[in-house]
Amino acid sequence: MKSLKSLISILLIANLTYAQDKPTEADFKALVDNKTFVFAAQSASPLRGRTVHLSPGYTLKVSGDTVVSDLPYYGRAHSAPMNPSDAGIKFTSSDFTYTVKDRKKNGWDVTIKAKDGTRNHQIFLTISSNGSASVRVASSDRDSISYNGDIQKSK
């Protein structure tokens, strides 16, 4: 009986510690407003085709004055890239616009328009107050693609 009480108290303390570490809506709002977050993609949905579940490591990083995209691309391209390693949505941009709008039911709509580079990507993020997010990427020479994942704090 004593060991059962000890186990219950350990689980209760662990649960309280976990609940304190969980980010709040205010934490996510600060990340979005300060442009310091990472979108970690978990799945990709091309315009034509099936949803693809992704392995960890595909990200879209926003850090103040820079946007770095390392996302895979599945879909139809209207022109072939000159460099075969440029097949995904991979770019670094320091010349972009960043706008945030509050959603009606908690969360934010973020629009990023990259102006440098050859493709001029437009990225539309829909971020919920619990940190889950979807990203839609539109470019001039490819079909659009959507990603689902989570918003995390930049490291």
Per-residue pLDDT, 64: 86
Closest CA to 96 of 109, 81, 110: 110
Per-residue pLDDT, 106: 86
Instruction: Say if 10 falls within a structural domain.
Output: no
Instruction: Say if 14 falls within a structural domain.
Output: no
Instruction: Say if 140 falls within a structural domain.
Output: yes
Identify the CATH number of the domain in which residue 110 sits.
2.40.128.410
Instruction: Say if 98 falls within a structural domain.
Output: yes
Per-residue pLDDT, 57: 92
- Tell me how many domains the chain contains: 1
Per-residue pLDDT, 112: 93
The span from the CA of 10 to the CA of 39, in Å, is: 33
Per-residue pLDDT, 47: 87
The span from the CA of 144 to the CA of 77, in Å, is: 10
Per-residue pLDDT, 48: 85
Instruction: Say if 146 falls within a structural domain.
Output: yes
Instruction: Say if 51 falls within a structural domain.
Output: yes
Per-residue pLDDT, 13: 59
Contacts of 116 (CB under 8 A, 6+ apart): 93, 94, 95, 96
The span from the CA of 111 to the CA of 109, in Å, is: 7
Instruction: Say if 6 falls within a structural domain.
Output: no
Sites in the chain below the pLDDT cut of 70: 1-21, 80-86, 117-119
Per-residue pLDDT, 113: 92
pTM: 0.80
Q: Please give the residue range of the domain that contains residue 145.
A: 23-153
Q: For the chain, what's the residue count?
A: 155
Instruction: Say if 11 falls within a structural domain.
Output: no
Between the two ends of the chain, the Cα-to-Cα distance in Å is 44
Bridging pattern class, strands 122-127 and 108-114:
antiparallel
What's 54's DSSP letter?
P
What's 130's DSSP letter?
T
